[in-house]
């Protein structure tokens, strides 16, 4: 078991290196000479000698490898550089924006998981019933509807016409409802499809028929035999859903004026604020890697076949 | 009602006249469903895509107005005979903008799809066919890139290059080929095990001939399925990035930028939001359905 976790964790190392390299390139690529820009910000026109001296002081003349090493060391100390636009430390900006994004993201993740898996089980146990057919049509549409359009329609109907909920903004639970629905629909629809087909597959297996032949009651077949086997593969999908929610959050935050990482990223891309973009890529990338590592490890803990060390190579 | 009563007698008469030949024909008929039945699931989504493609191609001839012509006397007009979808905040005709916007949205999505498929196919063939160290290197790169959400790559590329229509294409293709390459690599690995490839190799066929004459033709169905499903996904990405201002730039009409323009007014003028969004949904839905239908057809073919 320990060796499996270790092997799985080493797989993440090349990705981590690539991620930090990409973020390093993003943050250190800049419009013009950063030394010149910094001196110009002081007011007067800098002399070439002053610029050269400042470059030396900033370490811009060092080879790229050394600059990358220094950047990584700064990173471990929480230094993500300085924003071009606001001149504030990037870590400070990210710190402010992380909370709202986590709040929206976690709520949407939990809601989409409960709704998607719950409906998937229900439809999978009664395949081709009117309920299942209806659910499939709805999920087909939800997979095709752009989340930002769904958000706009929700605002038109629920906020503008019915006036039940606020249009946009950040605050208590009532501000959270519409963004959560808009963000959770897509992931819930795809989770529902996977769960449904997984339940149908397991329900057809011989061991379910054997258990039924033993005379077990139907509820015991469902909860004791079918579901644990059907839900195991869904676990690995949850990590991917997390990525889908991270991506969706960018659009949804911007529509609902939610002060999270996504809306910060948008203004940074249009303002070419590369250090902030780099930090965003780094932080969401690392969290994505960690979530997937955790789901894979919990999968191994729950599935005895992986503990034996067989069939782990993917 | 009358037909059900006459059919058995007509059949038995035909049977007595033509004998076993008639029966064999009848059986053959039942075994192989008509083309219409086999392909029926592709008709509706294929038809929807065809209509959108035609309106996009012939937009300059169909569109009643110039999509960028301002009409200050007719701002935010409701649906009327002159403007079936109303006018936007600058008095531009929404129908014409939908037609011209479809041109931009669909062209971007199609080009992005072709680009990702071509690059994915090339990389997949390189890794899957030549194997060895080439495959090991490519597979490592693929694993690294696939363990990050593809949107992160898209955004990183957009961040470096800055938002515009051409960088949107670069970003979409630059992030999209990875998933395709993995699928095509796996498909080629299984194709390589086929006997006819062994036969071609032992006949002394060159690598180029094997790839061009044996591998690619056999991959075509996979390519079509992947490309169709990918088109649906690309439409959603293109329009959402344009909606965010990271893709097509105003005043060029695109279904995403049209929704972005409508953001300030949509409370009072829902038509501005409903029409472009419905177009996006319809095209994405049709591509998904068509891809699924083709995949089902191909699977049935393999089984039979």
Q: Which has more pLDDT, B90 or A308? A: B90
Block residue for tokens 């054997």:
A210
Answer yes or no: are the C-beta atoms of B255 and B281 closer than 8 Å.
Answer: no
pLDDT at A186: 87
- B184-227, pLDDT tens digit by residue? 998 888 888 888 888 888 888 888 888 888 888 888 888 988 89
SS3 label, residue A70? helix
The structure's pTM equals: 0.82
Q: Would you call B284 an interface residue with chain A, using a CB distance cutoff of 8 Å?
A: yes
Residues 68-107 of chain B whose Cβ lies under 8 A from any Cβ of chain A:
none
Q: Do B281 and A247 touch (CB under 8 A)?
A: no
Q: How far is CA A158 from CA A88, A176, A179, in A?
A: 38, 13, 12
| Bond into B160 cis (ω within 30) | no
Q: Would you call B149 an interface residue with chain A, using a CB distance cutoff of 8 Å?
A: yes
Retrieve residue A12's tokens. Answer: 């993440």
Measured in angstroms, the CA of A149 and the nearest CA of chain B are apart by 6
pLDDT of B81 higher than 90? no
pLDDT of B118 higher than 90? yes
Please state, in angstroms and rounded to a whole number, the distance separating the CA atoms of residues A28 and B60: 45
Q: Do A156 and B273 touch (CB under 8 A)?
A: yes
Q: Which residues of B touch A160 (CB under 8 A)?
A: 267
Determine the residue of chain A that is closest to B274 in CA distance: A153
Q: Do A18 and B145 touch (CB under 8 A)?
A: yes
B251: Cα within 13 Å, side-chain hemisphere: 10
Block residue for tokens 């032949």:
A213
pLDDT at B19: 47
pLDDT of B6 higher than 50? no
SS3 label, residue A33? coil
Average pLDDT over residues B43-72: 83
Please state, for a pLDDT cut of 90, what percent of chain B lies above it: 17
CA B87 to the chain's CA centroid: 30
Please state, in angstroms and rounded to a whole number, the distance separating the CA atoms of residues B157 and B162: 8
pLDDT of A308 higher than 60? no
pLDDT at B261: 83
pLDDT of B12 higher than 60? no
Which residues does residue B93 pair with via DSSP β-bridges, in sequence order?
B87
Residues 16-55 of chain B whose Cβ lies under 8 A from any Cβ of chain A:
none
Q: Which residues of A touch B275 (CB under 8 A)?
A: none
Measured in angstroms, the CA of B288 and the nearest CA of chain A are apart by 8
Q: Which of A83, A106, A109, A107 is nearest to A96 (CA)?
A: A83
Q: How far is CA A36 from CA A49, A63, A67, A145, B65, in A?
A: 11, 19, 18, 48, 51
Model confidence at A43, in pLDDT bands (50, 70, 90)? low
Q: Would you call B259 an interface residue with chain A, using a CB distance cutoff of 8 Å?
A: yes
Average pLDDT over residues A68-72: 83
**Which residue in the set A14, A152, A265 is minimally distant from B273, CB to CB?**
A152
What DSSP character marks residue A160?
I
pLDDT of B18 higher than 50? no
CA B295 to the chain's CA centroid: 13
Please state, for a pLDDT cut of 70, what percent of chain B lies above it: 85
Q: Which ranges constitute the DSSP H helices of B19-93? A: 20-31, 35-38, 40-57, 59-62
Model confidence at B108, in pLDDT bands (50, 70, 90)? very high
Model confidence at B299, in pLDDT bands (50, 70, 90)? low
Three-state secondary structure string covering A243-300: HHHHHHHHHHHHHCCCCCHHHHHHHHHHCCCHHHHHHHHHHHHHHHHHHHHHHHHHHH
Average pLDDT over residues B49-60: 88
Crossing angle for the helix pair A90-125 and A173-203, nearest 10 degrees?
40
Q: Which of B106, B104, B96 is nearest to B53 (CA)?
A: B106
Please state, in angstroms and rounded to a whole number, the distance separating the CA atoms of residues A116 and A193: 8
Q: How many helices and strands, by DSSP H and E, does chain A display?
A: 14, 0
Average pLDDT over residues B107-112: 94
Q: Do B246 and A270 touch (CB under 8 A)?
A: yes
Average pLDDT over residues B140-159: 84
In degrees and rounded to multiples of 5, residue B93 shows phi and psi of -70, 120
Distance between the two ends of chain A, CA-based, in angstroms? 17
- A230-261, pLDDT tens digit by residue? 888 888 788 778 888 888 888 899 888 888 88
Question: Which of the residue ranges A38-52, A71-85, A269-283 would you say has the lowest mean pLDDT?
Answer: A38-52
Please state, for a pLDDT cut of 90, what percent of chain A lies above it: 7
Q: Do B160 and A29 touch (CB under 8 A)?
A: yes
Determine the residue of chain A that is closest to B278 in CA distance: A145
CA A135 to the chain's CA centroid: 26
Q: Which of B39, B97, B27 is nearest to B250 (CA)?
A: B97
Q: Would you call A290 an interface residue with chain B, using a CB distance cutoff of 8 Å?
A: no
Q: Would you call B277 an interface residue with chain A, using a CB distance cutoff of 8 Å?
A: yes
């Amino acid at each position: 078991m320990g060796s499996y976790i270790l092997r799985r964790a080493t797989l993440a190392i090349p990705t981590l290196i690539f991620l930090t390299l990409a973020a390093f390139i993003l943050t250190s690529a800049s419009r013009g000479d950063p030394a010149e820009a910094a001196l110009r910000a002081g007011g007067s026109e800098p002399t070439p000698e002053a610029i050269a001296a400042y470059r030396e002081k900033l370490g811009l003349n060092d080879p790229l490898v050394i600059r990358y090493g220094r950047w990584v060391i700064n990173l471990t100390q929480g230094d993500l550089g300085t924003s071009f636009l606001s001149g504030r430390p990037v870590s400070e900006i990210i710190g402010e924006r992380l909370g709202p994004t986590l709040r929206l993201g976690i709520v949407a993740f939990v809601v989409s998981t409960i709704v998607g898996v719950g409906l998937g089980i229900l439809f999978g146990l009664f395949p081709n019933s009117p309920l299942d057919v209806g659910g499939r049509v709805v999920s087909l549409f939800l997979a095709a509807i752009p989340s930002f359009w769904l958000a706009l329609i929700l605002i038109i109907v629920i906020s503008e016409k019915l006036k039940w909920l606020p249009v946009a903004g950040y605050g208590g639970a009532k501000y959270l409802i519409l963004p959560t629905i808009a963000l959770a629909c897509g992931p819930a629809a795809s989770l529902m499809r996977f769960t449904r087909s997984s339940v149908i597959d397991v329900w057809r297996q011989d061991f379910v028929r054997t258990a039924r032949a033993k005379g077990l009651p139907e509820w015991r077949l469902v909860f004791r035999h079918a579901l644990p086997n059907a839900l195991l593969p869904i676990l690995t999908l949850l990590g991917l859903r997390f990525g889908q929610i991270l991506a969706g959050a960018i659009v949804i935050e911007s529509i609902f004026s939610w002060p999270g990482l996504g809306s910060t990223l948008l203004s940074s891309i249009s303002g070419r604020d590369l250090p902030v973009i780099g930090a965003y890529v780094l932080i969401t990338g690392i969290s994505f890697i960690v979530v997937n590592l955790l789901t894979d490890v919990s999968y191994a803990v729950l599935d005895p076949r992986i503990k034996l060390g067989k069939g782990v190579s993917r | 009602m009358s037909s059900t009563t006459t059919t058995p007698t007509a059949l038995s008469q035909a049977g007595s006249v033509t004998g076993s030949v008639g029966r064999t024909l009848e059986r053959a008929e039942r075994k192989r469903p008509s083309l219409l039945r086999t392909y029926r699931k592709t008709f509706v989504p294929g038809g929807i895509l065809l209509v959108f493609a035609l309106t996009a191609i012939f937009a300059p001839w169909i569109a009643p107005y110039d999509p960028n012509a301002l009409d200050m006397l007719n701002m935010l007009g409701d649906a009327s005979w002159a403007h079936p979808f109303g006018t936007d905040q600058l008095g531009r005709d929404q129908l014409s903008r939908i037609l011209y916007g479809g041109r931009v949205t669909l062209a971007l999505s199609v080009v992005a799809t072709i680009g990702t498929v071509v690059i994915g196919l090339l990389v997949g063939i390189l890794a899957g066919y030549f194997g060895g160290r080439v495959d090991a290197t490519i597979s490592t790169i693929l694993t690294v890139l696939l363990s990050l959400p593809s949107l992160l790559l898209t955004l990183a590329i957009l961040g470096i290059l800055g938002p515009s229509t051409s960088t949107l294409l670069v970003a979409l293709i630059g992030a999209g080929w990875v998933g395709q390459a993995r699928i095509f690599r796996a498909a080629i690995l299984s194709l390589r095990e086929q006997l006819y490839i062994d036969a071609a190799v032992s006949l002394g066929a060159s690598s180029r001939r094997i790839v061009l004459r044996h591998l690619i033709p056999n991959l075509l169905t996979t390519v079509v399925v992947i490309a169709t499903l990918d088109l649906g996904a690309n439409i959603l990405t293109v329009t959402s990035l344009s909606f965010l201002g990271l893709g097509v730039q105003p005043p060029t009409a695109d279904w995403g930028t049209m929704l972005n323009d409508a953001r300030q007014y949509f409370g009072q003028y829902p038509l501005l939001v409903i029409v472009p969004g419905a177009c996006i949904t319809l095209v994405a839905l049709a591509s998904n359905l068509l891809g699924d239908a083709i995949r089902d057809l191909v699977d049935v073919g393999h089984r039979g």
